[in-house]
Amino acid sequence: MENIAPAISAPSGMGENKPSNQAVLDWVHEVESLTKPANIFWCDGSEAENNFLLEEACRQGILIKLNPEKRPGCYLHRSNPNDVARVEQFTLICTPSKEGAGPTNHWAEPAETYRKLQEMLKGAMRDRTMFVVPYVMGPPDSPLAKIGYEITDSIYVVLSMRIMTRMGRQASAKLGDDPKAEFNRGVHSLLDVNPERRWICHFPQDNTIISVGSGYGGNVLLSKKCLALRIASYLANKQGWLAEHMLILGVESPEGKKHYVAAAFPSACGKTNFAMLIPPKHFAGWKITTIGDDIAWMEIGDDGRLYAVNPENGYFGVVPGTSYKSNPNAMRSIERDTLFTNVALTNDGDVWWEGKDGAAPDAAFDWKGNPWTPASKEKAAHPNSRFATPMRNNPVLDLEVEDPAGVPISAIIFGGRRSDTMPLVFQAHDWNHGVYIGATMASETTAAATGAVGQVRRDPMAMLPFCGYNIGDYFRHWLETGKRLTSPPLIFHVNWFRKDATGKFLWPGFGDNMRVLKWIIDRCEGRGGAEKSPIGYLPRATELDLEDLEGISSEGLKELLAVKPNEWSKELAAQKAFFQSLQPNVPPELLAQEEEVERRFR
Ligand code: GTP
Ligand code: SPV
Ligand code: MN
């Protein structure tokens, strides 16, 4: 399928939403002079504009319209097979000193990088349309709300940004006319979608992002990982708030008592699923609602608690494994008005993927567009195939999602994908211990980024690929935030992915994660028993509500909650080696925590 498309000509009155802010106009003009597009399309975010662009995208072969009876308002996009995930090795943090980017980021010198990018962008949009996409991140009246403009030559990016952000007129209206008003400058060009000329570059000091050579996901939806995490984390450190790779969910008890929790799991480790889970039957009267499924911006409220908003307006979720059984709310969300990328197409114009309910179709087209049958060796859908769907489609969207003040966070949960070592759940002793747990967390790599899958790597706070500054300063910022919180959230660690000797998941996961969440809420309310272990507080098997839980034996449960000294001696060595690799950046408080855990195991 084509990513790159010739210029479009808009009917009069469309594509003319030129903002009045001179700084925006000057910058767009600069990019125009460099990239030489055939024309400029100024987006306004309207329904009419969206319909026109969808039609154009279908005409140009960028999208396939799905069967409107089966998937109304839904489209399929196939990306270039060389371009199916984030590219961490080509993601650069361009700060004046290498120190600023720190030991976990790929650093490049800003002036030189600008020069290289300019060279690549010279005439890059010739014969193409240059779209200017204005957007707001966060509830527009939130003090944390940010304005961005993304210039792009990809119509797919425009259509995705309309789902994922508050895109359109309101952004330019909010920015106003002051040429000094802050906005993020995002420039994206597909170039020739060549992995050898693919760079995702961040200039935190200039609030600028330049992305070239890709047309996929977090590489090009510059609002998401680039702005809402990498640039935002840099700003948050300077300004005293937190930008985190966390879902935010509400949990209401049958008595009507409500808590919010935020959870950081690495990419493709269960955030979207957890954010909209449906509790098992036994938990009648308990309600889970979603604020966000991927990113949280949090600041300290007047009452000394942590308050969170979701900067996004839609979900860019992993498709494979999504079913009415595993995640009914996601399935309902993607019944309409959804952009699918790299899933299979059925003969009746619907979409299919591995792990969808029911039998596989007898014949279909795989994510590359090749004929596929259940006998085929290749997967029908790419493991990192995604849906982009507006959050309004979520049947359990939380009513406070637009509250500019955000929601108060009772608990923070860290978690990774670990076949062994990590028990189902444990609680940190206090804030600093929690920061240590977050800083040393690890997870098996997934298809969300290019590279090997299934290798354990340290991924502090699930931010390894997303922290826009020195990770040591990031840890320090967390420790400082703890000092300013008079009612800090409790901190937990979970692992839904521990396996038995045969390689089977020990824990059923998904809706049953409610059982773990319930224990977490109990702990927040000062109920809920636990026993002290060297790694933190663990529930005894009797302290988890496991009624009606099927498919798990008492040995399985024991295994799930076990803290095995042989596994932990390896784990502590790995944590220590990780901190060593970051030196001299690790704050002494965290080294002290490391010593404490070691001591507790002795
Ligand atoms: P990103 O969008 O990349 O940030 O991913 P995410 O963290 O939102 O992960 P998501 O919820 O999309 O889940 C990723 C994969 O993990 C999917 O294949 C899910 O089916 C699977 N998964 C999610 N939750 C669970 C769980 O509780 N148990 C098991 N075994 N698998 C899960
Ligand atoms: C992730 O990888 O954490 C995602 C998908 O949410 S992407 O937007 O591609 O980064
Ligand atoms: Mn994510």
Q: Using one digit for the tens of pLDDT, what is the confidence trace for 534-551? A: 999 999 999 999 999 988
Whose atoms come closest to the Cα of 320: which ligand? Answer: 1
Atom of ligand 1 nearest to the CA of 273: 11
Nearest CA owner, ligand 1 atom 15: 268
Give yes or no for a contact between 167 and 133, defined as CB atoms under 8 angstroms apart.
yes
0.95 exceeded by pTM? yes
Nearest atom (ligand 1) to Cα of 327: 20
On the question of pLDDT at 30 being above 80, the answer is yes
State the distance from the centre of ligand 1 to the C-alpha of 485, rounded, in angstroms: 31
Q: Tell me: the pLDDT tens digits for 257-297? A: 999 999 999 999 999 999 999 999 999 999 999 999 999 99
Decide if 393 contacts 333 (C-beta within 8 A): yes
- Mean of pLDDT over the chain: 97
Look at ligand 1, atom 11, and give the residue with the nearest C-alpha.
270
Given 43, 201, 226, 269, which residue is catalytic? 269
Ligand 2: distance of its center to the CA of 228 in Å?
A: 12
The 10s digit of each residue's pLDDT in 284-332 is 999 999 999 999 999 999 999 999 999 999 999 999 999 999 999 999 9
Determine the distance separating the centroid of ligand 2 and the alpha carbon of 386, expressed in angstroms: 9
Q: Tell me the DSSP string of 440-497.
A: T-EEE--TTBSS-SS-EEE-GGG-TTT--S-HHHHHHHHHHHHHH-SSPPEEEEE-S-
pLDDT of 3 strictly over 80: no
Give me ligand 1 centre to Cα 270, in Å: 3
Return the ligand number nearest the Cα of 295.
Answer: 3
Q: List b or e across 184-208, with b for residues whose CB sees 16 or more CB atoms inside 10 angstroms.
A: bbbbbbbbebeeeebbbbbbbeebb
Protein residue whose Cα sits closest to atom 7 of ligand 2: 218
Q: What is the number of the ligand closest to the CA of 330? A: 1
pLDDT in tens, 37-90: 999 999 999 999 999 999 999 999 999 999 999 999 999 999 999 999 999 999
Residue 273 and residue 327 in contact, taking contact as beta carbons nearer than 8 Å: yes
pLDDT in tens, 418-468: 999 999 999 999 999 999 999 999 999 999 999 999 999 999 999 999 999
Q: 181 pairs with which residues across the strands?
A: none
Confirm or reject: Cβ of 496 under 6 Å from ligand 1.
yes
Distance 86 CA to ligand 3 centre (A): 11
Any atom of ligand 2 within 6 Å of the Cβ of 270: no
pLDDT value of position 340:
98
What pLDDT, on the 0 to 100 scale, is given for residue 1? 56
Q: Which residue lies with its CA nearest to atom 5 of ligand 1?
A: 268
pLDDT cut 70: percent of the chain above it: 100
Is the distance from the beta carbon of residue 224 to the nearest atom of ligand 2 less than 6 Å? Answer: yes
Q: State the pLDDT at residue 2.
A: 65
Q: What is the pLDDT at residue 551?
A: 82
CA-to-CA dists, residue 138 to 161, 406, 579, angstroms? 14, 10, 34
Q: What is the average pLDDT across 175-187?
A: 97
Average pLDDT over residues 502-523: 97
339-348: string of b/e by CB count within 10 Å (b at 16+)? bbbbbbbbee
pLDDT digits (tens, 9 = 90+) for 544-590: 999 999 889 999 999 999 999 999 999 999 999 999 999 999 999 99
Atom of ligand 2 nearest to the CA of 267: 3
In degrees, rounded to 5, the angle at the alpha carbon of residue 525 between the alpha carbons of residues 524 and 527 is 105
Write out the H or E segment, with its range, that includes residue 42: strand 39-42
**Annotation says 524 is catalytic:** no
In percent, the amount of the chain with pLDDT more than 90 equals: 99
